[in-house]
Structure 1
């Protein structure tokens, strides 16, 4: 018997979670499993979302009862709690990122409450904190089943740059508003990307969009307080048009890439047939 083959064979139970950090090209063909047809931790996520909804609904009702949901009331509450308000905002933003909820309204609201620079900084802190928590959770033992529950086609297209220049991958997903940040945070945690690269890349390349949306929130708040609703409606219409354009472009790009991938798979099968 060859001793080298015996030494290279892993012992049962000797592999650790950290040694199994998946790479995108290793996750392309996961073994079929009953859990693969449904999102990972679907029930836990649904329960968490219901609890968050109940908490936010109760808070909104209390604020409404105290007449604090108008713009003047919210600004007054932020001024009366200069330390608690930013901490609460950053925590809510991080939880929204962790549970893959839309964060653009929070970003715009930060600009309305604190202005472009300060609001953008608070949004960046909350976004980076939530993204790091999601990345670390996916890399833990609890996050390994996520490899069977997500569509990994995005990482397969980025796999060539994952090892050589991981910061370019971070730049692509953070500077592209059409890429869902919540899902990407978990997917990148399933790869071999270093945590340090992920953190500084997220902070650096998330800053531009945070500042842009915070500036939009500052403009929106100014129009609301000054009563210039006509200009506000025009800006909202432009933003909706841009969002629709990005969504349509993303959909067309996905269909085109799917067709190219299917054609490549067909050609590969044809070349592999024995002559």
Structure 2
């Protein structure tokens, strides 16, 4: 049965059937995770090689220097945490990629504190861009969204799960923040979907960053293996979800 013609000021926002929307989002997320897996694998192998060389050559002095600088940061206490958190928030808000900041957070503060700072800073920075977009710029965003027409369903029925899926895509974070800012998504939905969507890669990069400069080679290798395992597990879950969506 043919669909009736409709007039729409923005034809690129034509709504797809729900199953097709979810399938396309799942497929794109799956492709993105395959690319991310390869990038993380190369990064982990590079860090592992560097740390192996560092522990058995004169470069070991670099590790000692890292430990010394981390001691200075610890002495600053909450000032260092607050300052770094603000840097991450502002950086993400203006469009600087968050993953390098996640690695830096792990290196400077260790895994747990680094993950907390990078996750909160990334989420708040994204929320800041979201608020700016919500106050204006809708027309400009709608004119750009045609480049990714399969994202248009978000403008019709946003949910925290769709925000989560979108966070797995290989698109600039600033673009997604602004795009979501012109949707009808609720603030708490945006925050929850963004927080959960950022979590997997933030954990992985914080583990990698924390592994750099460890005085124990064994601890470094364990954390790098943990980062790889996490990325592959999440990638498998995304792939499985994609397969389920295709079956519908």
State the TM-score, normalized to the length of structure 2. Answer: 0.57
Q: 1:192 to 1:152 in 2, by over 3 A?
A: farther
Do residues 170 (structure 1) and 163 (structure 2) align? Answer: yes
Larger Rg: 1
Compute the displacement of 1:186 (Å). Answer: 1.0
Q: Secondary structure at the match of 1:221?
A: coil
Corresponding residue number in structure 2 for 1:158: 151
Do residues 82 (structure 1) and 80 (structure 2) align? Answer: no
Do residues 129 (structure 1) and 124 (structure 2) align? Answer: yes
Q: How does 1:88-99 map to 2 (within 5 A)?
A: 88-99=83-94
Distance in 2 (CA, whole Å) between partners of 1:90 and 1:24 is 38
Do residues 216 (structure 1) and 204 (structure 2) align? Answer: no
Distance in 1 (CA, whole Å) between partners of 2:68 and 2:100 is 18
Compute the displacement of 1:201 (Å). Answer: 1.1
Match of 2:96 among 84, 89, 101: 101
Flag structure 1 segments of 5+ consecutive residues without an equivalent: 1-21, 27-69, 243-275
Flag structure 2 segments of 5+ consecutive residues without an equivalent: 1-9, 15-64, 232-248
Greater relative contact order, per chain length (Cα 8 Å cut-off, separation 6+) = 2
Alpha-carbon displacement from aligned partner over 1:100-134 (angstroms, at most 9, x marks no partner): 11222210011112222221111111001101000
Q: 1:186 to 1:209 in 2, by over 3 A?
A: same
Moved over 4 A (4+): 225-228
Q: How does 1:37-52 map to 2 (within 5 A)?
A: none
CA contact (8 A) 2:158 2:183 kept: no
Corresponding residue number in structure 2 for 1:185: 177
Q: 1:24 to 1:204 in 2, by over 3 A?
A: farther
Corresponding residue number in structure 2 for 1:147: 141
Compute the displacement of 1:196 (Å). Answer: 1.7
Compute the displacement of 1:148 (Å). Answer: 6.2
Alpha-carbon displacement from aligned partner over 1:224-273 (angstroms, at most 9, x marks no partner): x4589xx8xxx7xxx9xx9xxxxxxxxxxxxxxxxxxxxxxxxxxxxxxx
Compute the displacement of 1:73 (Å). Answer: 4.3
Corresponding residue number in structure 1 for 2:35: none
